[in-house]
Amino acid sequence: MLLQPKICQTSRGCAHKPRTWLLQNNSQQQPAPSWLPFAPWAFVLLWSAGYGVAKLSLEYTTPLNLLALRFIFTALILGVAVMLMRIRLPGWQIIKINIIVATFIHVLHFGMVYVGLALGASAGVIALFAASQPILVELAASLFRRKPPHLVLMLGLVMGMVGAVWVIVARDEFEGQALLGALMGFGAVVGLSIGTAYERRHKPGGHPLGNYLVQYLYAAAVSVPLALLVEGVQIDPDPNLIMAVSYLVIGNAITGVFLLLTMVRHGALSKVTSVMFLVPGLGALIAWLVVGEAMPPAAWPGIMLAAAGVLLVLYGGRLTGQRSAKSSI
């Protein structure tokens, strides 16, 4: 016997209508867009450009102020999108996961990137460290699995670090605040890698946009008081700053997140790591175009060595039968 749904017979209708904006199912599979094969390349381009644009922004504001601006405006835009799409926000257990993820990926990562740039580290050096993310993510995964990292992974990491030191020396950034800024860049990618590994391991449920909104709200709640306490309000409302922050929010955060979520939804996220070796070169080129930051010829062998280390980890695992950095955690 089939149970028939109850239908309200009163003239006033049902007293308890379902709140569809809370219960909307956003998990229906959509066909892959035709531009999906180009998404990893677009994502890496947007990511690489962020370093030079951030360097430009810091000519008109301070690092923690820039961090707060990024999180505030991104949270506002995501909040509007979540309301318009009627996306249900995650529960407390998932919120706790998102807070940990946001601490590493957003607050620590971008905070250390911006402080490192403000201390004098070049955008090219910061981008060089960022390219080592697939290596560090796989290293973090090995630690989470309580298994020793493979020899190929360690060799790739050594190649990346030697390449980074090469570039730092070639750019004469091994003294004073510039060296500290470069170390901040390395710390930033470590934070990003830990946050990425943690998020993949715990796989928070719910709609991705809802999770990202929680992350950016938390990041804004942390960064705004920190900026006010440490730096005060130091913002020069120059058109260059407005354009730069607009890019960091719309191009780097919003569009980047859209591409990332699309690739996650259609199983193409692993292709991003396969082109991460392009980040140092692209980052250096865009920094030269945006802020006139030239990379000396003597530094390019170091960039190529670091890129080779990333390629070794990404594809060397196929030859050894080990899991590569493209695998899930």
Reported as a single tens digit per residue, the pLDDT across 99-125 is: 998 999 899 999 999 999 999 888 888
Average pLDDT over residues 19-35: 53
Asked, for residue 272, whether it belongs to a domain, the answer is: yes
The phi and psi torsions of 101 (rounded to 5 degrees) equal -60, -45
- Provide the domain limits for residue 298: 39-320
Asked, for residue 94, whether it belongs to a domain, the answer is: yes
For 245, the enclosing helix (H) or strand (E) is helix 239-246
pLDDT-wise least confident of 48-62, 107-121, 174-188 = 174-188
pLDDT-wise least confident of 144-148, 183-187, 212-216, 279-283 = 144-148
Torsion angle, alpha carbons of 176, 303, 311, 143, to 10: 0
Asked, for residue 7, whether it belongs to a domain, the answer is: no
Asked, for residue 22, whether it belongs to a domain, the answer is: no
Asked, for residue 15, whether it belongs to a domain, the answer is: no
pTM of the model: 0.78
Q: Is the pLDDT of residue 317 over 60?
A: no
Taking the CA atoms of 15, 16, 21 and 27 in sequence, report the sign of the dihedral they define. Answer: negative
Asked, for residue 328, whether it belongs to a domain, the answer is: no
Give the total number of structural domains in the chain.
1
When pLDDT is cut at 50, 70 and 90, the band that residue 321 belongs to is: very low
* CA pair distance 171, 165, nearest whole angstrom: 10
Asked, for residue 65, whether it belongs to a domain, the answer is: yes
Asked, for residue 232, whether it belongs to a domain, the answer is: yes
* CA pair distance 318, 90, nearest whole angstrom: 37
**Can you list the positions of beta strands (E) in 180-329?**
none
∠ CA 80-86-89, nearest 5°, is: 85
Average pLDDT over residues 122-139: 78
Query: Quick one: 293 exposed, middle or buried, by C-beta within 10 A (0-12, 13-18, 19+)?
Result: buried
